[in-house]
Structure 1
Amino acid sequence: MARKDIRTISIFCAACRSLLYKYRKGGRGGLVKCLEDRIVDDRTAGDLKCPRCGQEFARFKMMQGQRAHKIIQGKVFTKGMSRK
């Protein structure tokens, strides 16, 4: 059964405000990890650093048997996450 609460959010670098990802997020909680198969538009070089300022914003992790990007809190901000 498909989840109805999946939406596309934009993830930006907190230091220079450049777009890093467009990501299909599920659930109502905060952004903790990004599963690689849900990243729609990746603007990084794949090294988990901002392409403009070079700041590291995440780390590679294995979560739920899949490769994921574990977000370093405070390094990114999001748009498109409605909190109800």
Structure 2
Amino acid sequence: MIGPWRAVVVFPERSYDVGDTTPYDALIRCGSLHRVYLKDLLGRSGLGLGARLARLVVMDREPLLTEARALIDEQTAAGQRES
């Protein structure tokens, strides 16, 4: 038996979205299809590891390096706590 599913379409920014959702409106209304715009995640706090990793794709160089180092440090620390 197949359980509930969810599809996520990821765009770097809103300008890449074709905008015509008519063929998918039923899926959007029932919550099975979600669109994510990575640029919208910039500047947001409280994101999970996956979202923080994904937004690296659209970050400028300096904040990208800072965020990547922070992610590495956090995961290293978490791994040491689990050991």
Higher Rg: 2
Higher RCO structure (Cα 8 Å, ≥6 apart) = 1
TM-score tier by shorter-chain length is under 0.3
More strand by share: 1
